[in-house]
Each structure stands twice: as structure tokens, then as C-alpha cells.
Structure 1
Amino acid sequence: MKNQTNPWLFWTGMILLVVPGLIHAYLLMPFPGSQELNAMTVSYYLEKMVWPLRAAGILMLVRYLIKYFPRNSKTAKIVKASALAICLVSFYYTDFAYKASTMFEEPRTIKFATAAGNKVPENFVVIGVVNDGVAKAYPVDYLGYHHKVQDNVGKLPVLVTYCTMCRTGRVYSPIVNGKRQNFRLVGARHYNAIIEDEDTKTWWYQATGLAAAGKLKGQRLKELPYEQATLKSWLAKYPNSLILQSDAHFISDYNDLKNYDRIQYVDHDSTIKNKDTLMRKSWVLSVIVHGQAKAYDWRHLFKKRVLNDRVAVTPVVVTIEPDSLTHHAFNSYVNGKTLHFKADTTGTLTDLETASTWDWDGLSTAGTLKGTQLTKIQAYQEYWHSWKHFHPNTLFWKE
């Protein structure tokens, strides 16, 4: 009797049970080649189909095990039982071990401290947010593991995010169409974290806040201003700031990132023979002014500390503080004239036009312009491959 064991039913069920989950995990995690594919839409709809396809596969396998499995030879039974065991192992890896929300859990406790009670080292880099007189600092070492912290600064709801694959820190409003949303980490596309809102299940890029797939595709989360600085620099400006403390449940995960920003501020690409070559993981400091994006090689800025430039029609100065990690960008047009800045060996910032002295936060502290505050421009530090992907028309600064 032909096909009395009906093997096609077993293997079709196995394929439906295993393959969609494997493809889904491959597309949403940084496996070799996966992040270069333009597969956002496929990834999105595949996630919605994984469990229906699995359910169909389970029904086929149940029918097979009841009706046909007993007819198999001993060898065939061993083969199929082994295949089922492999299926269970695959399920564990695709749905638990390599699931983004499992690998990078939400904080279980969100606890802040003042400077007096703070236990975060002052040389840690933080994402700082200020609203209505309230300042909060979120250490990158903690954000880098969790990828996001959902919080309030004063009465302002904030979604503070960081993606270590791109070096992208961003702060967004979690208000979508008038309602505050909770977000979960889905995975990554183009080496950038993807988050999903609770109500519409739309997928959003962490680096841009753009809805890339789902009901709200094309919308953007509202970006909120923030600063990236060492905690020491941040507290010098905001001594009453609250500082996010470590969650005791994730100390080992934080330790994996303990040198992420404190030691690697001169990027690894600087060791290559041609030190002027911009590589995928070269660090850049970037700004967007009047819709024009411009990027500055971190190595040049690190050496010079101050770069005077013009983006679109706006004069701009970008700076790195003496701690080599805290950075800023400002509009350098003041009182009808463009100012040009320099930093001396003592770390003092002065403008060439009036010789006024300025602090690194853009406030003139001495000279004819004393009390003048430069207008801040949001600056972003990230890997070149990420910035270029999301801002393909970027101009690159050259001497």
C-alpha cells in the first residue's frame, strides 16, 4: 500500500511549525546578511502569520501522530521523533533565547537618586532630558541593555531609547494620536532597533521615530530634545538632576556594556592603515538644519574640539568637551554676526570676533557678550553606517 505512513503530512506540518519562526528570527536579529535585506514589510506580516501557520502545522502533526505514526518502522519513528525534538529546540531559540523582548528585558524597577544618593559613576555617559525645571539622566550603559525606558520628566511622558548597534540615542514622546502608548522591543532592521506600540501594533524605527510598517506607516513619533554627556558634565549644569539607578536584576547585563562609552571614544577604525578612511562603524556627530543633514568625523572633532561650519544657510559650531565624550552643536549667529570659536589648551572656549569667553553649554561667561546664550542644535552621535542609511542625502564635513 503506497504512502501508508503519509510522510508528506508529517514533513509539511514540520515545515509550517519550524520554518516561519526561523525566517522571522533571522530577519529580526543581526544574523549574517539579514540586516542588509529590505525586508521590513515581509518581517512585519510574517510575525502576524507565524502562529496561524504554526497552528496549521500542529494540527497536521497531531493528525499524523494519531493516524499514521504507529504504522512507521522503528527507524522511521526514531527519525521523526528526532525531528520533533529538533523542532522543540528550534522553538526555544526562536521564541525565547533569540527573542528581542526576552534578550533585552524591560526594567523591573525604575529608581532615581539625587547626586547625593547616586551610585552611577560620574564618567558614565548619560542621555539627559529637562522639562519644566526637572532634569533626569539615563545612563547609556543601562539604556543600551534595555533599549528603552518609558518614564515621565516632570509631567512630560518620555520614551528614552538607545540602540547599541547604531550608537543611536533618541528621546520621543510616547503620545500617538492623542493617547500614551506602551512600546515593546520587536527586533532590528538595518541594524536599528524596532519598537511596536501597544494599540496599533505599528513598527517604528528607533533611529528616526518613523513608522515603517503597520497601521500608522509614514507617521513619526515626536522627537524631544536631549543631551548626551558624561554624568559629571550633566551634573555641573543640572546639580539637582535625578539619575536613573541600576536595576539589581540586570547587573551582569550592564557589566557587558560597562566600557561601551567610557573607553571606546576613539573608534576602532582609527587603527586601520588609512586613518582618513570613513568606515561603517566610524563615529560621526551629525546635525539636521533646515532639512539638511550634515555629519562630522568624530576623529577630526576629537582632535580639534571645535569645528566652525555652515549647514544650509545657518552658521554652526560643533564641540566636544575636554572629557572627550560630551558633545554639543550651536547656531553661532549672534547679534547680526557669525561668531567663530576656538578652544585653547586649558579648555577655554572663546570667539574670535569679540574674544568673549564661553562655557561648553554655549553661555558667554565673560567679555562683551557676557550673558548671551547660543541657540542649541540637536546633535547626534552614531555610527556612520546608521546615519548614512537613514539620512542618505547627508553632506560630510571636510577641511
Structure 2
Amino acid sequence: MNVRQVIPRDAIPSIDEPEFARTYAGAADDEVLVLESSPPRAYPVRILDYHEIVNDDLGNDPVAVTWCPLCGSAVVYERVVDGRTLTFGVSGKLADDDLVMYDRETGSEWKQSLGTAIAGELEGERLAVRPAAMLPWEDFRERYPDGVVLQPTDADSEAASDDDEPAPIDYDERPYEAYFERDGFGLDAHRGGESQSRAWDRDDLEPKAVVLGLERGGEAVGFPLPWLEAAGGVSRATVGDTDVVVFATDAGLHAFEDPGLAFEPAGSSTFAADGTTWDGATGESKDGRTLERIPARRLFAFAWQDDHGPDAFVEGGTRSIGRRRRSSSERPRHR
């Protein structure tokens, strides 16, 4: 693991007292990270680009909403470790181009995509992942009419600056827009352009392909969006001891506990099974049933491979996607 100090600690300020409202000034297709709390909460990437961490409290249920722009890594973690509530900030370091968080209680440092403490008093501890999903803003507003959205803050951030010193934020600006559009990946590609990109040694998957990563029972499996799209939009697998179904929709990737139904594509974001239609983004059916969303990490393929290796993707690529549902006795397990 390559860890390097890139900017001063807290030059990118976390949001520690988040405020929410029903209105949002961004674009309809802006991505938001969604927590299905009461009420549901949306955290726009447009805001997270400048803060990377939101320390939130869902009614005495403390969580950290985290985002690494370089890795496209969106993960929500519980903030309680061994009975102690932690508050996270941006260390200014990167580990394999991934955000390194630090907790203000012990100063321990945490790799964002893994949720693992890599240095300090709590080294080796892991944060628990919470179920969350990425949606376009317009989809969030349609699917969660009672939902609220994180509001901008009056703060300075290094992400708004041309150097390492924080500058006033203009949330209309997209500091990583060029990076997301180019093929290169990692900090050097962001700062220096395509010629500074890290090497990528596989041709079946682009380094910045979106992946939904699941970890269950000591096993890690990544589900790449392009592989699911090429195979009809649905994948079943056993991850650890859990049967899962993952849907690729117009609203991204979404993972649920598999109830054993034979899901078939029925539209851009819907799937037919058991005599009804299911929304692949929410897991809700037209007859009132709801699938159980699984804790997951949304990130770029290169970041998932950095953390788990080149074989930690759905078995055999597209060959395992869309396979028929088998009984538990005959269903093959993911390697």
C-alpha cells in the first residue's frame, strides 16, 4: 500500500453539522448518495466533492457518509467502534490514490474504500458498512417523495483551489469533471492529465468502470456495471454465506438479498418476477413487497482491484451473470 501526504490535514473540510432541506439547486442528473433513513437522505456528489466526509447522526445513530472522487468511492459507515463514537476528517493523505480519513478521537488513519484503520491506536479495526445507494437526483425525488437533501455550507476547500490552500467553494463548479471524462486514473492523472495515469494491465474492464463491491463472510466480490448491462442487467451469486441479486439499472447498481425469484428484465430499471414488477433501484415491487438492501461499496474498478486483487470480480466475468436460479444444494459458490 502506497501512502503519501498530498495536502494539509483538513484542507478539505468535513461537514460535521449537516443541514437538510427538501429543495436542491443542482442539476436533475446530479448523482446523490442515498440513505434509506427516516426520512430518506440524499448527499449530492456535487457537495461531497468539496468535503468528502459528512459526519451525520440519524437520531442517535451516528454514520459517516464518505466519498473519494479519485476512486469514485461512495461508502457509508457506522461511526461507533468498540462503544466509542468517532468523528472523521480528511487527513490529506492518499493510500493507493484513495482517501485516508482520520478520526479526531484517537488520530488513527483509515483507508476510505476499505473502512480499515491502517495506522494509529485503532490500527486493524474495521468500520461497519451501512446499506446505501447512488441515484440521480431526479430519481431520488421521484422514488422518495418525503426525502431530504444535504445543503451547501459556507466553507473553504482545497478542492476549490489551484494550489494546496483552501479557497471559497462555488458548488456550481465541478472540480473532477475532466478527471471523470478522461481514461487515466489516480491522483497523477487528475493533476497531470492522461500521460500521468497509472498502468492498467487488463483489457476486459476499464479502470474507471463503476463496480458495486460486496463483502460477506470474509469474501469480497465486485459486480462491474458494464458486465451486468451486457448480460441483461441482473446477476445472482453467493457471497460468503449470503445469496445476493444485483441489478444494473438506469439509476446505477443495487444489491439485495436474493429471495430466490427468477428476475427477468422488464424495462430500463425494472425486473419481472413472481407475477409482479420490481424496481431494481429500490427493491420495491408493485404488489407492496420490498427486498432487503445489502451493505455495499460503490467505487471504480481500479480501487476495488487495489483492495482485493484482480480475481475479486463476479466469477468468469459475464459468464456468471443472469444464470438461472439453482437450489442451494447445486448452486455454485463464487470463488
Q: TM-score, normalised by structure 1?
A: 0.63
Asked if 1:331 corresponds to 2:257, the answer is yes
Q: Is residue 101 from structure 1 mapped to residue 28 from structure 2 by the alignment?
A: no
Q: 1:216 to 1:377 in 2, by over 3 A?
A: same
- 1:184-233 per-residue CA deviation (whole Å, 9 max, x = no partner) reads 21111111111111222111111121111111111112322222212222
What's the counterpart of residue 188 of structure 2? none
Greater percentage in strand: 2
Deviations 1:323-369 (A, max 9, x none): xx432112222xxxx22212234654202xx342222322221xxxx
Whether the aligned pair in 2 keeps the contact of 1:329 and 1:379 (CA below 8 Å) is yes
Q: Are residues 39 and 278 of structure 1, via their aligned partners in 2, closer, same or farther at CA, if it must alter by over 3 Å?
A: closer
- Please give the alpha-carbon distance, in whole angstroms, between the structure 1 residues aligned to 2:229 and 2:175: 22
Are 1:362 and 2:271 counterparts? Answer: no
Q: Which has the higher contact order (CA 8 A, sep 6+)?
A: 2
Structure 2 residue 262 is matched with structure 1 residue 340: yes
- Aligned pairs for 1:55-134 (under 5 A) are 98-102=7-11, 104-107=12-15, 110-114=18-22, 117-131=23-37, 133-134=38-39
Q: Deviations over 1:81-132 (max 9, x none)?
A: xxxxxxxxxxxxx8xxx32522x23349743211xx332333211111233x
CA distance in 2, matches of 1:363, 1:109: 32
Residues 247-296 of structure 1, C-alpha deviations (whole Å, 9 max, x = no match): 354543661247589x86xx848xxxx99522433332222233322222
Cα distance between partner residues in 1 of 2:59 and 2:98: 29
In structure 2, how many angstroms separate the alpha carbons of the residues matched to 1:292 and 1:175? Answer: 23
Q: What corresponds to 1:17 in structure 2? A: none
- 1:378 maps to 2:295: yes
Give the match for residue 327 of structure 2. none
| Rounded Cα–Cα distance in structure 2 between residues aligned with 1:199 and 1:349 | 46
**Aligned residue-pair number:** 285
SS at match of 1:294: strand
Aligned to 1:222: 128
What is the deviation of 1:244? 0.9
- Note the residue ranges of structure 1 that are not aligned, 5 or more in a row: 1-37, 48-93
Counterparts of 1:187-336 in structure 2, within 5 Å, are 187-249=93-155, 250-252=168-170, 255-257=173-175, 259=177, 268=183, 277-304=204-231, 306-312=233-239, 314-322=242-250, 325-333=251-259
- Name the CA distance, whole Å, in 2 between partners of 1:140 and 1:377: 21
Letter in 2 for 1:344: A
Displacement after TM superposition at 1:142 (Å): 1.3
| Partner AA of 2:253 in structure 1 | H
Q: Any conservation in 2 of the 1:280–1:383 contact (CA below 8 Å)? A: yes
State the alpha-carbon separation in 1 of the partners of residues 77 and 268 from structure 2: 36
Q: Secondary structure, in 3 states, of the residue corresponding to 1:396?
A: coil
| Distance in 2 of aligned mates of 1:305 and 1:140 | 28
Q: Is the 8 A contact 1:305 1:321 kept in 2?
A: no
The change in CA–CA distance for 1:199 and 1:330 in structure 2 (over 3 A counts) is closer
Q: CA RMSD in A?
A: 3.1
| Distance in structure 1 (CA, Å) of the matches to 2:265 and 2:98 | 35
Determine the C-alpha separation between the residues in 2 that align with 1:205 and 1:148.
13
Distance in 1, matches of 2:202 and 2:275, equals 34
State the identity %: 25
Contact 1:172-1:224 at 8 Å conserved across structures: yes
In structure 2, give the amino acid aligned to 1:317.
V
TM-score (ref. length: structure 2)? 0.74
- Alignment gaps of 5+ in structure 2: 156-167, 185-200, 320-335
Does the C-alpha gap of structure 1 residues 112 and 344 become closer, same or farther in structure 2, counting only changes over 3 Å? same
